[in-house]
Amino acid sequence: LQPATLLELGSATGDTTSGLFKKYPKAHLIALDASPAMLARTRTRKPWRRKLSLVCADAEQLPLADASCDMIISNLTLHWCNDLQQVFAECWRVLKPQGLLLFSSYGPDTLLELRQSWAAADDQTHVHAFMDMHDVGDALIRTQFADPVMDAERLTVTYADPRALLQDLQQLGAVNASAGRLRGLTGKHKFQAMLTAYESYRQDGLIPATLEVVYGHAWKPEAVRARRLDNGTAVFPVAQLTRR
């Protein structure tokens, strides 16, 4: 595949952007992120004489024309979006027919040790609720993407102590965006209770942190089949209407 126009959803620090420049040397790359600071970092990864458009926007409202992109790539961004179905609808809109969507995101077992350690300390939501692979696949199908393929793998990273993990998460900007999260400060006693609970996972002098990485891709088909609403009404694109 050699896309002419490639959209990256969530360019963040530009690490993936840099790889895309090498993988697709002839593509016009559009790097989109909701953070101006992240886009500034992405700008520094641009090779000389390569075309890069920086767009500060939300993935749920893409400021791009219909059918303007050949490929969309999103690396570890979708789990932060509030409305995944709307994000996929926007991806569908801006993709050309036979365009490709590729993405990775974190699954529900991500940071399970931290989640369970906080659960031992109080009943508040401290860890972001990551999306299940099957729910993501269902959202693709509802958006009428074709041939969706989903896969997942579990990785384990280790730290000297839970504080080192939390520091890493803070530097990565991996905040808890769950609707039920605690809005105020966490008390010292509850924080210490979480640290104590996490110690039960320690092995060989290190504490683990599980990452469940979900991978997926799907195509926008050349033609869209009619879909039926709950009341039985068939809905299909006006562009498919033809005269007899």
pLDDT digits (tens, 9 = 90+) for 64-81: 999 999 999 999 999 989
For 20, the token pair is: 């895309």
pTM for the full predicted model: 0.84
Lowest mean pLDDT among 147-161, 175-189, 205-219: 175-189
Span 152-181, average pLDDT = 80
pLDDT given at position 23: 94
> Are 66 and 90 a contacting pair, CB within 8 Å?
no
Pairing of strands 207-219, 95-106: antiparallel
Look at residue 219 and give its three-state secondary structure: strand
What type of residue sits at position 111? L
> Are 35 and 59 a contacting pair, CB within 8 Å?
no
Residue 13 is assigned to a structural domain of this protein: no
pLDDT at 182 over 70: no
Lowest mean pLDDT among 41-45, 79-83, 173-177: 173-177
Residue 131 is assigned to a structural domain of this protein: yes
Span 103-123, average pLDDT = 95
In the chain, the number of structural domains is: 1
pLDDT class of 216 with cuts at 50, 70, 90: very high
pLDDT given at position 180: 44
Residue 199 is assigned to a structural domain of this protein: yes
Burial class (CB in 10 A: 0-12, 13-18, 19+), 148: middle
pLDDT given at position 46: 82
Residue 28 is assigned to a structural domain of this protein: no
Span 152-178, average pLDDT = 84
What type of residue sits at position 58? D
CATH code: domain of residue 65: 3.40.50.150
Structural domain of 182: 58-240
Structure-model confidence comparison of residues 177 and 204, the more confident one: 204
Residue 42 is assigned to a structural domain of this protein: no
Residue 215 is assigned to a structural domain of this protein: yes
